[in-house]
Chains A and B, each alone.
Chain A
Amino acid sequence: MANDIIGRPVWPPEIEITGWGRYPASPARVFPVQSTAEPGQVLKARRGKSLLGRGAGRAYGDAALNRSNFCLDFTPYNRFIGFDEQTGILRAEAGVTLEQILGVFVPRGWFLPVTPGTKYPTLGGSVACDVHGKSSYSLSHYVERLHMLLADGSYVTCSAENLPDLFWATVGGMGLTGLILEVELKMMRIETCLIKYQGVKARNLEEIFQLFEETEEWPMTVAWIDCLARGKNLGRSIMMRGAFARQNELKSIAQHSRARSVPNKGKLAIPFAFPAWSLNQLSVAAFNTCYYGKHPRCLNTIMDYDSFFYPLDSILQWNLIYGGPGLVQYQFLIPLEQGFEGVKTLLEEISATGRASFLAVLKKFGNIQNPGMISFPAPGYFLALDFPIGKGGILKHMDQWDKLVLKYGGRIYLAKDARMKQESFNAMYPRLNEWRAVKQKYDPENVFNSDLARRLGLEVKLGG
């Protein structure tokens, strides 16, 4: 942090920032963090303003916004601090991105234990959202320790053993318990970084749910659903499943030569906001090509990890496809037992509004409990759909869908959310009070705050 003549800190200017969905926008002073002492200096100099750690800005809604207050941009704080070849534990500063981690560790035979559908988020942001991927574990399952700066200015290390209350309130805690400075993550060994892939067509929802049962051979699964299909075709989809290929599963010399290499394909950049209708065309076309085109009923191949995990990353700034006003993603979870009913009802409801995002992503999260207090991933089916904001009418529909999600005992993913009402949120997260108690204990004055926290009441109520 810079100082003025008499040593007072100089604040950066207030600028408008948004999340990945570009809705909503909110002004804040953004302090870049580059050296170890800086977060503490900003905390000391905050003069009544609240703070929020911000990563790559890949959460969709208002999770990384802090209106008229301070954000700490952790992206320049991105050094590796240690790596233990024996245990696979990587310690890094919170601003390192998943892409940077892969770039260094894939050639050495390691991969992220969990990865979301984009490689651009930071490690700290990923922990704060407790991200999930195509497997049945969320990231927190592999987080060994977190090194944090708390509201009272103290530096602590927490883990499942040490300060477990803080730890389980911080993973998935949306950055509201303190600043995550460094993360220790258990990486996963891989024989090759290529993916043994199988794509299977499903004619309807029954078929795709059936396919989700065959998880033994396929640790990573996800399905693309065509939301335009109705009636007996409801849930028409493609199951995409994969496993890291072993050496002996590679077939050609070309494949062997890529077994440890970071894919380096050209990226298509979207230079400006498209008119809002273009998305429809694009995603419909994408799905149809896969479904009706060359795709056989069952396709087996070997592909690079970028194509499997991060298909959208090859289009930089794809969020601009959704047009000027931005987009909202609606991602919810329905518990396993109610899964089929819930997903079916919501799909019907959503396509009935005629606003359907043409592509939805469905995945199943196995029966593994997540001790994160307000962490999203839990056993169940997850469905995610993107909607252009347009004139905003879509938001009313979403309030209706929330009621259905609640009826089936489900919840909304905060990293994607920009609009949920407090009442719905309170009813969705059963361990919210436990989380609140931890917030009260470690940050009684709401030193850490965000637009999302204010919207959903994730704050300590001051003065009773």
Chain B
Amino acid sequence: MNEKKTKNILILGANSGMARALARELASPQVQLILASRKVAELEKSAKDLEIRGQGPGPKVISFNALETGQHEQFLSQVLSQVGTLDEAYLFFGRLHGQTEAQKDFNLAREMIMTNYVGAVSILERVAAYMEKRGQGMIIGISSVAGDRGRQSNYLYGSSKAGLTVYLQGLRNRLARSGVHVLTVKPGFVDTPMTRNKKKGLLFTKPEVIAKGILKAVRARKNLVYLPCFWKYIMLIIRSVPESVFKKLKM
């Protein structure tokens, strides 16, 4: 069981519903996973599960808080000291608060912005620098369809994701020459803890389906993917409504 690992994969926000599904797809004797998130006890449990499923030595578990940007440098060194090199980094962490609540209490808005945008940029800048220097690697950032257009019902969350989307776009452009690939994933509605208080309509997808879609896009080295793919068309329509009309819509 101690054959050489071929790939080291970091999952940031590994307790997320989508990340859990993805990690199960990835778990195999050829992959060393590094699970990072705040709730370490939960990560340990998931690591055991992945060890049993993947039949390799289990994933490493490292505590990570997106909001503590001062620790990110050290976090990355810790990752590298444990596994040597890093081939892929998935960014799953994210925070969603209700729009009306966040309008009333700026702390909630701030937490979303600090997590989804500032925290993401902080850790990815470091990962990017490492991969750029190494001349290889892949960064997979989970943004959202909510970042495609600001709507009154969730623009505080949406704008944090819009920031992330543009950041990933720029990063992709910067790293293209160094051989580091960046994939932006924009899921639609997914049935995870994030949406647990919402009524699940027909547009909701299971995280397992999203995980498979992400892996397919990774293998095809896509730049941008909507998941499931019909969201591409929904968002195309939503983006194409003229602002003068859009601002009067209840969305």
Contact = CB atoms under 8 A, between A and B. Distances in A.
A185 to B, nearest CB: 14
Contacts of A11: 197
Interface in A21-48: 31-32, 34-36
A54 to B, nearest CB: 14
24 contacts: A1-B196, A2-B197, A5-B104, A5-B108, A12-B196, A13-B198, A13-B199, A15-B199, A15-B200, A32-B196, A34-B17, A34-B20, A35-B15, A35-B39, A36-B41, A36-B42, A36-B45, A76-B17, A76-B193, A79-B45, A79-B46, A80-B48, A80-B52, A83-B52
B48 A13 contact: no
A160 B181 CA distance: 56
Contacts of A213: none
Nearest to A6: B105
B53 to A, nearest CB: 6
B193 A34 contact: yes
Contacts of B41: 36
Contact of B193 (A32, A79, A104): A32
A160 B39 CA distance: 34
A15 B20 CA distance: 26
Nearest to B52: A80
B197 to A, nearest CB: 5
B49 interface: yes
B37 to A, nearest CB: 11
Interface residues of B, number: 23
A10 B108 CA distance: 15
Contacts of B46: 79
Interface of A: 1-2, 4-5, 10-13, 15, 31-32, 34-36, 76, 79-83, 104
Nearest to B54: A104
A72 to B, nearest CB: 12
Contact of A13 (B45, B192, B197): B197
A368 B101 CA distance: 59
Contacts of B200: 15
A5 B101 contact: yes
Interface string B24-43: 00000000000000010110
A4 B107 CA distance: 12
Given A5-B101, A35-B15, A81 B196 contact: no
Given A5-B101, A82-B48, A35 B196 contact: no
Interface in B9-25: 15, 17, 20
Contacts of A35: 15, 39, 42, 193
Given A32-B196, A35-B42, A81 B101 contact: no
Tell which of B41, B196, B199, B200 has the most Cβ of chain A within 10 Å. Answer: B196
Contacts of A4: 101
Given A35-B42, A36-B42, A79 B48 contact: yes
A83 B105 CA distance: 47
Given A5-B104, A34-B17, A35-B42, A12 B197 contact: yes
A83 B50 CA distance: 12
A69 B20 CA distance: 29
A34 B16 CA distance: 9
Contacts of B197: 2, 10-13
